[in-house]
Amino acid sequence: METIKERVKIMNSYIPEEVELAKYFNDISRYDLLSRREEQRLFQVMHKWSGNMARCGQRTRLNGKAAREKLINSNLRLVVKISKEYQNMGIPLPDLIAEGNVGLMKAVDRFKPNKKTKISTYASYWIKQCIFRAFDNKSRLIRVPSSACGKYRHVIKWIQEYEHLNGEKPDINQIAKKFKTTAERALSIMEAKQNILSLDYEYEGNAGGKGDGGEPRTFGESVGDEKPIPTQTAEENDNRYVLTKLINKLAMREKYILHNRFGLQNKKTQTLEQIGKKFKVSRERIRQVEMIALRKLRRMLRKEFKVDLDSFNRDGYLLTHF
């Protein structure tokens, strides 16, 4: 909607400095919460401007920008509330709030109001996604000296092989024992390991219970809407990070089946029969466990982000193929 310069300027206006947090909290407490009716009215005013920016008059533009700003301001306390849930985890609270404010602006720009959902419900997802991305970016800044790169790659290769054979990650003590190092050093290796799901590996058939065969599909297609959106790159990374976290909460067998059915984490895709042989059960039983695992992912997403399905699906990031 705005140019990059305008968006950065708006974003910076909501970034509190460390020493001014108390003042910032006091300032945002002045903004009243909005009723659903007030929200709908403001979104109508905003969309008259944002939906026709090239042709709208000056009054429409000013009213639209004012409505957007009021919608953002009235939800700044929500950003603080969510950000506080993730403080003391390596990123300063002001930085978490700044990232969350970016998510709030994304939500306001994307939200299509309806009678069932308030912007706060919808925005919670985007706020958390931007905060998660901040943690993900921080983890990628771990520097591995060039002299240690060869050994590092060797360790990572062994970890991947272990995951493939056992369906779960080795613990810190196992890594330390294998490579005759300390648990602290093993932990630093695990923290440095990139752990982002690939949503682009194809597998045969669909995992919705129709068996193997048919058109190839990707994991991203099976858990989200197939329609791409213009600003994909950063948001796809956000969703990969979220899915990684959710899948890691599943039982070992469920996690193994999803990893190998969908070719996640650079694994080769396997058929139901191949996975069934490993666990000494029928292909039908593997299909059932796969369905259970995917349903768990959907429930966890709903519980974690409290997203209204009808509203959120417009942006194509819910698990909708059931």
Structure-token pair, residue 229: 């959106």
> Of all residues in the chain, what percent carry a pLDDT higher than 90?
9
Q: Note whether residue 167 is domain-resident.
A: yes
Return the CATH number at 50. 1.20.120.1810
Structure-token pair, residue 63: 């009213």
**pLDDT exceeds cutoff 80 at 228:** no
| 206 plus 282 within the same structural domain | yes
- For position 78, what pLDDT does the model report? 94
Q: What is the mean pLDDT of residues 248-271?
A: 81
Higher local confidence (pLDDT), 78 or 61: 78
Q: Note whether residue 217 is domain-resident.
A: yes
- 3-class SS at 271? coil
| 40 plus 157 within the same structural domain | no
> Helix, strand, coil shares of the chain as percentages rounded to 5?
65, 0, 35
pLDDT band with cut points at 50, 70 and 90 for residue 269:
confident
- For position 76, what pLDDT does the model report? 94
The residue written with tokens 């129709």 in the block is 210
| 25 plus 132 within the same structural domain | yes
- For position 79, what pLDDT does the model report? 94
| 14 plus 132 within the same structural domain | yes
Count the domains in the chain.
3
| 94 plus 173 within the same structural domain | no
| 116 plus 217 within the same structural domain | no
For residue 84, count other CB atoms closer than 10 A to its CB: 12
Q: What is the largest CA-CA distance in the chain?
A: 71
3-state secondary structure 289-309: HHHHHHHHHHHHHHHHHCCCH
Answer for the pair 198, 204: CB distance below 8 angstroms, yes or no.
no
Domain that holds residue 245: 202-315
- For position 223, what pLDDT does the model report? 45
Higher local confidence (pLDDT), 245 or 128: 128
Q: Note whether residue 35 is domain-resident.
A: yes
Which of 124, 139, 154 terminates a domain? The answer is: 139
Residue closest to 265 by CA, chosen among 248, 279, 280: 248
Distance CA 315, CA 245 (A): 20
Weakest mean pLDDT among 99-103, 259-263, 288-292: 259-263
**pLDDT exceeds cutoff 80 at 101:** yes
| 77 plus 176 within the same structural domain | no
- For position 42, what pLDDT does the model report? 92
Answer for the pair 235, 174: CB distance below 8 angstroms, yes or no.
no
pLDDT band with cut points at 50, 70 and 90 for residue 264:
confident
- For position 74, what pLDDT does the model report? 93
**pLDDT exceeds cutoff 80 at 242:** no
Higher local confidence (pLDDT), 81 or 2: 81
| 22 plus 123 within the same structural domain | yes
| 49 plus 167 within the same structural domain | no
Cα–Cα separations (whole angstroms), residue 63 to 39, 43, 45, 250, 255: 14, 11, 7, 48, 50
Total residue length of the chain: 322
Which of 159, 192, 225 terminates a domain? The answer is: 192
Q: Where are the beta strands (DSSP E) in the chain?
A: 202-203, 217-218
Mean pLDDT of the chain: 70
Of 100-104, 213-217, 314-318, where does the model show the most confidence? 100-104
pLDDT band with cut points at 50, 70 and 90 for residue 293:
confident
**CA atoms in the 13 A half-sphere facing the CB of 220:** 19
Cα–Cα separations (whole angstroms), residue 197 to 94, 152, 192, 245, 285: 29, 20, 15, 10, 25
- For position 104, what pLDDT does the model report? 93
DSSP track, 245-262: HHHTTS-HHHHHHHHHHT
Q: Note whether residue 322 is domain-resident.
A: no
Q: Note whether residue 295 is domain-resident.
A: yes
| 14 plus 45 within the same structural domain | yes
Q: Note whether residue 320 is domain-resident.
A: no
| 228 plus 166 within the same structural domain | no
- For position 227, what pLDDT does the model report? 39
Q: Note whether residue 321 is domain-resident.
A: no
| 120 plus 169 within the same structural domain | no
Q: Note whether residue 78 is domain-resident.
A: yes
Chain segment 152-164, per-residue pLDDT in tens = 667 777 877 787 7
Chain segment 167-209, per-residue pLDDT in tens = 777 777 788 888 887 776 666 555 544 433 333 334 444 434 4
Return the CATH number at 271. 1.10.10.10
Predicted model pTM: 0.46
